[in-house]
Amino acid sequence: MRLDVRALVWGDTGQPDSALIPTLHAFTAPDGTRLVWHELGEGRPVLLLHGFMSSGQGNWFTPGIAGMLAAAGFRVIAPDCRGHGGSDAPTDPAAWPADIMTSDALALVDHLGLTDYDLGGYSMGARTAARVMVRGARPRRCVLGGMGEMGIMEAGPRATAFEDALRYGEAASDPVMGKTIAKRITTLGLDRHALLGVLAAFAPTNPAELAAIPVPTLAILGDADHDNGSVEGLADLMPDCTPLHLPGDHAGLVGTAAFAQAIVDFLVSSET
């Protein structure tokens, strides 16, 4: 079933409904780090994990995705991952053990008592969502956006470039990227040492682990996004994964109406 809910969210005014303003909540992770999440809507829970140097608000609410899901009858739960948004951004290396982002997501699931829910992630969030399932979580359905098989399994050259840009700014190997990253850090109030912790905490995933995930999954990639492998490659590794290409590049896809509609269609289809 295809439910066109964008009109329900934006209406005829071109502005979001004032009722679709998320509430902000916080909890303390097992290691004492304060983490926040944004919540909107009532109904079936869907946990959405954002990308690197973004936030729950920036990745899911600003583009209208959360509003569309809420209008379709979902309870949207979108955390700010540690080091991002309103959550704590620790700089002590001890706060960044391997796979801590996954541990935080699982801690939130436990904190909220979620047992029957959907899962989604974009870019870093897609990698984390895959790790959540590798570590035993079994959502009803999952959407992985902005990542092919290589981006899910390993950090690769993109993470190396991010680390170089974070450490050296305009003196990085790619000075344009270094300047862009420095500007984003300032604009969003991020801490580069915490972001380096995010990169250091990355945990790889192997093909056998992906093959053991039985969750029906939609893998969405922009047709101009070539840095993280292919969704066809990911579908070859996962037993119940459907690949989908949409117009857009890595940065732009998440803001498109087609991306939002594809998520809604996929999650709503199993409700009927």
% residues pLDDT > 90 (the chain): 88
What mean pLDDT is predicted for residues 180-193? 95
Read off the pLDDT band of 19 (50, 70, 90).
Answer: low
Model confidence at 171: pLDDT above 60:
yes
Query: Distance between CA 103 and CA 109 in Å, rounded?
Result: 10
Q: Following DSSP, what letter does each residue of 149-194 receive, concatenated?
A: HHHHH--HHHHHHHHHHHHHGGGSSSHHHHHHHHHHHHHHT--HHH
CA torsion, ordered 227, 187, 144, 228, to nearest 10 deg: 10
CA proximity to 201, closest of 78, 59, 75, 52: 52
Give the chain's domains with CATH numbers.
6-155+205-269 (3.40.50.1820)
Query: What one-letter code names the amino acid at 144?
Result: L
Residue 40 phi, psi (nearest 5): -150, 135
- Cα–Cα distances in angstroms (integers) from residue 35 to residues 29, 79, 231, 241, in the given order: 7, 7, 31, 31
Read off the pLDDT band of 159 (50, 70, 90).
Answer: confident
pLDDT of residue 270: 67
Strand, coil or helix: 49: strand
Q: Where are any strands of DSSP class E within 32-178? A: 34-40, 44-49, 74-80, 118-122, 142-145
pLDDT of residue 46: 98
Model confidence at 15: pLDDT above 50:
no
pTM > 0.85: yes
pLDDT of residue 21: 86
pLDDT of residue 204: 96
pLDDT of residue 158: 82
